[in-house]
Amino acid sequence: MTFLVTGGAGFIGSAVIRELIQNTPHRVINVDKLTYAGNLESLTEIEDNQRYTFIEADICDADKMAAVLKEYQPNIIMHLAAESHVDRSIDGPAEFIQTNIVGTFNLLNTAKTYWLELADELKKQFRFHHISTDEVYGDLHGTDDLFTESTSYAPSSPYSASKASSDHLVRAWNRTYDFPVVVTNCSNNYGPFHFPEKLIPLTILNALEGEPLPIYGAGTQIRDWLYVEDHARALIKVATQGVIGETYNIGGHNEKQNIEVVNSICAILEELKPTKPAGLNNYADLITFVTDRPGHDLRYAIDARKIDKELGWTPQESFDSGLRKTVEWYLANKTWWQRVRSGQYQGERLGQL
């Protein structure tokens, strides 16, 4: 089959594409606008594969997207393109509204037109897979309750509100037009090729450079951590085997406080990288508590029993194994993250346009 992946140069999108190219026979069309978080260097290991094609395009450009669909005739659209950083959404929400809501609307409209014109057999095969987040549910205040697929939406940030809006649009296209959709909501991802503004890569790289390790508030916020390669496998399973109209929550079964995550990274670095920047005795000495984020959700936790029961997916990585793999990857791939931190990856790309 042919998969069209939007946002395929991003963190999760690139993991999905690597998984599709390396472990399936399918063809992949990667559509990405190449904003700051889009990095084609995350796809160098598969970029020359004959089953892979990259197209620089904005999902908000309906004409361009219609042309791409017409030319490449995808069987499945996996929609990952989104602005996703909460702090950035607080400082500048307009881009989140444009990409996450208007972009999804444009893509739905364009894809529906494409789908209606397909031959009957191809029409039955087609799927629109919308990838979302557990942040649309708001937060949990108890210690035992979990987000299920029927949990009411209560987004807290401009980012999560924009994703909630896009989720509603996708479900409305299914209900109103019988457009064949599946939706997934995932917990916090981590792993290789993660953009360094997020907690885990930021902590690893700041520690290696002897810089402060900032933690919001007291660091007691709890997240369910999902290794990105486990997530990629789950997404492909939902896209190919999920029931039309259904939602699947994808979680890692790894609830950790932010302060626990940072301390775990410091402990792994003490073992793997004992030689530290000058004047530093312990990596944990770099931990710095900063003013909490406005509207910061306290706890996220996913009930992922449905995808296990119905599709047979469970994560392969524990938090300990996944975190160790992640730290090892950043230690072994210094060139990748140095080019991201310096902006060099983007500068060279702009120079080629």
Q: What is the CATH number of the domain that holds 308?
A: 3.40.50.720
Give residue-wise pLDDT tens across range 3-18.
Answer: 999 999 999 999 999 9
Give the confidence band of 292 by pLDDT, cuts at 50, 70, 90: confident
Give the confidence band of 293 by pLDDT, cuts at 50, 70, 90: confident
Cβ-based burial of 171 (10 A; exposed 0-12, middle 13-18, buried ≥19): middle
Is residue 145, in this structure, part of any structural domain at all? yes
222: Cα separation from own chain's centroid: 18
Give residue-wise pLDDT tens across range 99-128.
Answer: 999 999 999 999 999 999 999 999 999 999
Task: Name the residues annotated as catalytic.
Answer: 134-135, 159
- Taking CA atoms, 37 is separated from 141, 174, 293, in Å, by 32, 30, 21
Give residue-wise pLDDT tens across range 20-34.
Answer: 999 999 999 999 999
Is residue 40, in this structure, part of any structural domain at all? yes
pLDDT (average), residues 172-196: 97
Is residue 343, in this structure, part of any structural domain at all? no
Please give the tally of structural domains in the chain: 1
Domain that holds residue 245: 2-194+226-253+299-317
On average, the pLDDT of the chain sits at 95
Residue 173 or residue 141, greater confidence: 173
pLDDT at 170: 98
Is residue 215, in this structure, part of any structural domain at all? no
Is residue 278, in this structure, part of any structural domain at all? no
Q: Is residue 212 over pLDDT 60? A: yes
Give the confidence band of 270 by pLDDT, cuts at 50, 70, 90: very high
Contact between residue 208 and residue 269 where contact means Cβ atoms under 8 Å apart: yes
Is residue 58, in this structure, part of any structural domain at all? yes
Q: Is residue 148 over pLDDT 80? A: yes
Give the confidence band of 350 by pLDDT, cuts at 50, 70, 90: very low
Q: What is the DSSP string of 245-270?
A: T-EEEE--S-EEEHHHHHHHHHHHHH
Is residue 337, in this structure, part of any structural domain at all? no
Collapse the DSSP code of 50 into the 3-class scheme (helix H, G, I; strand E, B; otherwise coil) and give the result.
Answer: coil
| Edge-to-edge order in the sheet of strand 188-190 | 188-190, 222-227, 255-257
Q: Is residue 138 over pLDDT 80? A: yes
What secondary structure letter does DSSP report for 243? P
Sequence letter at residue 230? D
Q: What is the DSSP string of 178-215?
A: ---EEEEEE-EEESTT--TTSHHHHHHHHHHTT--EEE
Residue 310 or residue 141, greater confidence: 310
Q: Is residue 58 over pLDDT 90? A: yes
Q: What is the DSSP string of 264-327?
A: HHHHHHHHH----STT-S-GGGGEEEEPPPTT---B--B--HHHHHHH----S--HHHHHHHHH
Longest dimension (CA), the chain: 68
Q: Is residue 142 over pLDDT 90? A: no
pTM above 0.75, yes or no: yes
Rounded to 5 degrees, φ, ψ at 64 are -65, -45
Is residue 188, in this structure, part of any structural domain at all? yes
